[in-house]
């Protein structure tokens, strides 16, 4: 396993991050322990969770597992969504009230004094951005978090926050967690270039497209159950990508490599990416993703794989720039 720095923070993390969303849900405590130990054995020191995962059970199980090893690990958690099965009216969003309540609850469940990267799980249009940033700055000053970050935010929202942080001398976002895989490449348009320009760490989630890119799915092939089957959100997100899944699986078969390994390795190879978040419900699923750590992804192979899916249009809508170059640089 190789290690890299998260943005400008100097914190060293494994080039794969394990997402503990399955802990307490698809993976019971015994399986969660097996997955955790296999990750440690593989050299992973980076674990991602959220307060909402399994209504807090993911944090609780991870907290038990990392006892005696806390200082060796880098942990993220998130805030926005309700944790309780019967949430109260203020048990959501990014109000100061909800963030302060949530951080203390997460620290208790994780049985730790601090969270390395505390991530805003979603954008909250009802709460003033400056108030959110001041709350996170306070948490950093109190030592409850080392750094903050965002997930599922647009590039303009992140830039707005970075501007406020710079203006008011507040701690800024140091990590982002976007959706990114071969079937969903929108992050390439603005989020990943923003991360490179501002030296922000990037830990993409769903590199396997909720299982779409594992070889289990296609136009005439679907398992009886799985995240793509059981989740309405995932069904809607990937309902038009089954033909692509067939093409990608065939390409991986031609290379003689697991589709899951190839999909994670492709995400990992983007220059802006710090560490893809891999997840698993069992050890056999985990092994294919772990293999991406040692997969050699050349620029030529990445380009060939990328050609299998449709690249998103530039942010300006000027699709001709892909071929002709930016205005003023065209050949005469």
pLDDT digits (tens, 9 = 90+) for 146-172: 999 999 999 999 999 999 999 999 999
Pair 54, 24: CB distance under 8 Å: yes
Task: Report how many domains make up the chain.
Answer: 1
Residue 79 pLDDT greater than 90, yes or no: yes
pLDDT digits (tens, 9 = 90+) for 257-313: 999 999 999 999 999 999 999 999 999 999 999 999 999 999 999 999 999 998 899
Cα–Cα distance for residue pair 291/1, rounded to 1 Å:
10
Cα–Cα distance for residue pair 285/198, rounded to 1 Å:
34
Domain assignment present for 126: yes
Average pLDDT, the chain: 94
pLDDT digits (tens, 9 = 90+) for 20-54: 999 999 999 999 999 999 999 999 999 999 999 99
Domain assignment present for 191: yes
Q: Which two tokens stand for residue 9?
A: 């923070």
| Catalytic residue flag (residue 53) | yes
Cα–Cα distance for residue pair 61/50, rounded to 1 Å:
12
CA atoms lying within 13 Å on the CB side of residue 138: 11
Domain assignment present for 33: yes
Q: Return the bridge partners of 221, or none.
A: 218
Q: Which two tokens stand for residue 43?
A: 């050299």
H/E element, 157: helix 155-168
Helices (H) then strands (E): counts for the chain: 13, 10
Nearest CA among 238, 174, 177, 236 for reference residue 212: 238
Q: How confident is the model at residue 329 (pLDDT cuts 50, 70, 90)?
A: low
Q: How confident is the model at residue 332 (pLDDT cuts 50, 70, 90)?
A: very low
pLDDT digits (tens, 9 = 90+) for 218-256: 888 888 777 787 888 888 888 888 999 999 999 999 999
CA distances from 31 to 181, 194, 221, 281 (A): 26, 38, 27, 8
Domain assignment present for 264: yes
319: Cβ–Cβ under 8 A, 6 or more apart, which residues?
Answer: 313
pLDDT at position 326, please?
63
Largest CA-CA distance found in the chain, in angstroms, rounded? 66
| Residue for token pair 């390795």 | 265
Cα–Cα distance for residue pair 266/292, rounded to 1 Å:
9
Residue 117 pLDDT greater than 70, yes or no: yes
Cα–Cα distance for residue pair 44/64, rounded to 1 Å:
17
For residue 249, the domain's CATH number is 3.20.20.100
Domain assignment present for 37: yes
- Tell me which residue range forms the domain holding 273: 3-318
Domain assignment present for 324: no
pLDDT at position 96, please?
98
Domain assignment present for 332: no
200: Cβ–Cβ under 8 A, 6 or more apart, which residues?
Answer: 7, 149, 158, 173, 174, 175, 176, 194
Domain assignment present for 327: no
Cα–Cα distance for residue pair 52/270, rounded to 1 Å:
29
Quote the pTM value.
Answer: 0.94
Alpha-carbon dihedral sign for residues 82, 119, 181, 125: positive
Q: What is the distance, to the nearest Å, from the Cα of residue 313 to the centroid of all Cα atoms in its chain?
A: 22
Q: Which of 53, 118, 180, 217 is catalytic?
A: 53
pLDDT at position 327, please?
60
Query: Could you give the percent of the chain with pLDDT greater than 70?
Result: 97
């Amino acid at each position: 396993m190789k290690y890299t720095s998260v943005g400008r923070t100097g914190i060293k993390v494994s080039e794969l991050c394990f997402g503990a969303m399955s802990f307490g849900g698809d993976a019971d405590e015994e399986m969660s322990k097996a997955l955790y130990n296999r990750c440690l054995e593989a050299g992973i020191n980076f674990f991602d969770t959220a307060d909402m995962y399994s209504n807090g059970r993911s944090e609780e199980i991870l907290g038990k597992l990392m006892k005696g090893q806390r200082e060796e690990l880098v942990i993220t958690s998130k805030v926005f969504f309700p944790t309780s099965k019967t949430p109260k009216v203020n048990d959501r969003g990014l109000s100061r009230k909800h963030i302060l309540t949530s951080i203390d609850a997460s620290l208790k469940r994780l049985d730790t004094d601090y969270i390395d990267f505390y991530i805003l799980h979603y954008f909250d249009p009802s709460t003033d951005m400056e108030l959110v940033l001041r709350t996170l700055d306070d948490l950093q000053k109190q030592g409850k978090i080392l750094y903050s970050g965002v997930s599922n935010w647009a590039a303009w929202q992140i830039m707005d926050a970075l501007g406020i942080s710079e203006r008011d001398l507040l701690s800024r976002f140091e990590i982002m967690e976007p959706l990114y895989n071969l079937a969903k490449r929108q992050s390439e348009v603005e989020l990943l270039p923003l991360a490179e320009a501002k030296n922000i760490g990037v830990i993409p989630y769903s590199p396997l497209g909720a299982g779409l890119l594992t070889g289990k799915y296609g136009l005439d092939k679907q398992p009886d159950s799985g995240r793509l089957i059981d989740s309405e959100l995932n069904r809607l997100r990937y309902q038009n990508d089954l033909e692509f899944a067939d093409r990608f699986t065939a390409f991986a078969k031609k290379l003689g490599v697991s589709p899951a390994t190839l999909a994670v390795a492709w995400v990992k190879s983007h220059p802006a990416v710090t560490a893809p978040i891999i997840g698993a419900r069992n050890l056999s699923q985990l092994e294919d993703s772990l293999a991406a750590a040692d997969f050699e992804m050349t620029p030529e192979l990445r380009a060939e794989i990328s050609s299998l899916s449709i690249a998103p249009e530039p942010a300006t809508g000027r699709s001709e720039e892909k071929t002709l170059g930016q205005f003023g640089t065209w050949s005469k």
